[in-house]
Amino acid sequence: MSTVIKNGTIVTADLTYTADIKIEGETIVEIGPNLSGDTVLDASGCYVMPGGIDPHVHLEMPFMGTYSSDDFESGTRAALAGGTTMVVDFCLPSPNQSLLEALSMWDNKSGRAHCDYSYHMAITWWSEQVFDEMETVVKEKGINTFKHFMAYKGALMVQDDEMYASFQRCAELGAMPLVHAENGDVVADLSAKLLAAGNNGPEGHAYSRPPQVEGEATNRAIMIADMAGVPLYVVHTSCEESHEAIRRARQQGKRVYGEPLIQHLTLDESEYFDKDWDHAARRVMSPPFRNKAHQDSLWAGLQSGSLQVVATDHCAFTTEQKRTGVGDFTKIPNGTGGLEDRMPMLWTYGVATGRLTMNEFVAVTSTNIAKILNVYPKKGAILVGADADIVVWDPEKGKTISAKSQQSAIDYNVFEGKHVKGLPRYTLTRGRVAVEDGVIQPKEGHGQFVPREPFQAVNKALSKWKELTAPRKVERSGIPASGV
Ligand code: URP
Ligand code: ZN
Ligand code: ZN
Ligand code: ZN
């Protein structure tokens, strides 16, 4: 059985051209004019692009005393509805839990996925066992990224010595560290002071996490990665202070990547000053939404290439879950949704406004992260031999975002009321048509784990740290007797 996508304009990170695409089974087998096949999908008036990859989601994740409400079933259904065909979730061992045991728990959850997926492994505690298991995770389990939380003190947060040890281990294994960059000690102190002063509403969350805490942690992580000789990926880059650190590192020849979220690009801090407690609490996430100047910085980063990836950090909690934090903002589960809306929102606010070209859109939603995670060109590409993860994008198709019509299991949408123009006509996941004209045809368990090989990217370009600090033995005479 073959499928041909006809009459569309193919848009990749590099090229825009007219051709048909022939798919056999799960794979693209031919690209060219006048192709024929058993089934024809009409792409007239559409752009045919690599399916989106969202490298930052938390599905059914235990967090802040509860579980995020979208699981691999509803989460990947939402992904496909919005043109995303691969997600990367975070495997989060609890304190003292074996990484491999946590991984088998995640495998039990991910079997329901409608589209392909992979995992980042979180380093939530440190020991010789963790050090040893990291090797198995990379060499046998197909995971080449390790996440470090520099915030969530008393829960997920790692200390600098642990981070440095883990980063060095990543360097040995051909893996890449990721960081949630916020100074958790400062956040904890600011939070306590705000609460003591009676400032316990959701806006306190934003006050407790100013851009400085993110900028400081980003700088620190970059320097530690440099000393460990390893590339670094900074998740949910939300402000100029963090972007500046990433930009500077890249200018110095370091492989440092930054990932803004669609939420930070399109929603600002005024959301926290809504009079309605629920409205503000539903938007509590870390880092918090910022002001327009920070948003401009993120857009500029995507344009210039100093920021490479747009993700969602999809970690959805219901209103009821958010209400655990009434009277104490530190207890509001941190996280927002966005999986279904990332591509339409970025197209509407990025491509349609002229901020991004179509090719840049493909780069930041799919191709760049496929390369960074070492799954290109299996993913992130329209090429012969690539997986047929494809979105046929209709730039004229519009809708108003509403929780009433979303796939996500939660009862609201942070983009409620926004009008988007640009939606999938078809979404194909490894050759299977999962979305056709807004109708989702889900198939639980179709999604497969995508193993990711270790890679040799290092961070040595212009870094002279090792040479400058290489210990020299100094021959000395006249050493004074001790105690004199
Ligand atoms: O608030 C957020 N971002 N929640 C999800 C966990 C994380 O920090 O990424
Ligand atoms: Zn985070
Ligand atoms: Zn409101
Ligand atoms: Zn996250």
ipTM: 0.95
Dig out the tokens for 116 from the structure: 């392909």
Hey, which of 59, 180, 182, 286 would you mutate to test ligand 1's pocket, going by the most ligand atoms within 8 Å of its Cβ?
Answer: 286
For residue 473, the 8-state DSSP code is: P
Q: Give the contacts of 428 (CB within 8 A, at least 6 positions apart).
A: 3, 23, 51, 85, 388, 389, 390, 391, 392, 434
Q: What is the pLDDT of residue 270?
A: 97
Measured in whole angstroms, the distance separating CA 272 from the mean position of its chain's CA atoms is: 23
If you measure from the C-alpha of residue 263 to the centroid of ligand 1, how many angstroms do you get, rounded to a whole number? 12
Q: What is the pLDDT of residue 379?
A: 98
* 66: nearest Cα among 199, 195, 155, 183: 155
Q: What is the pLDDT of residue 438?
A: 87
If you measure from the C-alpha of residue 335 to the centroid of ligand 1, how many angstroms do you get, rounded to a whole number? 5
Q: pLDDT tens string for the chain (484 positions)?
A: 999 999 999 999 999 999 999 999 999 999 999 999 999 999 999 999 999 999 999 999 999 999 999 999 999 999 999 999 999 999 999 989 999 999 999 999 999 999 999 999 999 999 999 999 999 999 999 999 999 999 999 999 999 999 999 999 999 999 999 999 999 999 999 999 999 999 999 999 999 999 999 999 999 999 999 999 999 999 999 999 999 999 999 998 899 999 999 999 999 999 999 889 999 999 999 999 999 999 999 999 999 999 999 999 999 999 999 999 999 999 999 999 999 999 999 999 999 999 999 999 999 999 999 999 999 999 999 999 999 999 999 999 999 999 999 999 999 999 999 999 999 999 999 999 999 998 999 899 999 999 999 987 767 645 566 666 778 888 998 888 886 5
* 50: nearest Cα among 440, 383, 396, 372: 383
Q: What is the pLDDT of residue 470?
A: 77
CB atoms within 10 A of CB 466: 11
Q: What is the pLDDT of residue 448?
A: 98
The pTM score is 0.97
For residue 359, give the 3-state DSSP assignment: helix
In the chain, what are the domains?
Answer: 51-377+396-417+453-462 (3.20.20.140)
Which atom of ligand 1 is nearest the CA belonging to 58? 5
| DSSP symbols for 80-128 | HHTTEEEEEEEE-PPTT--HHHHHHHHHHHHTT-SSEEEEEEE--S--H
d(CA 318, CA 322): 6
Cβ 335 under 6 angstroms from ligand 1: yes
Q: Which ligand is nearest to the CA of 181?
A: 2
Q: What is the pLDDT of residue 484?
A: 57
* 139: nearest Cα among 121, 113, 156: 121
Cβ 315 under 6 angstroms from ligand 1: yes
CA angle at 73 for the pair 420 and 371, rounded to the nearest 5°: 70
Find out whether 308 and 368 touch, Cβ atoms under 8 Å.
yes
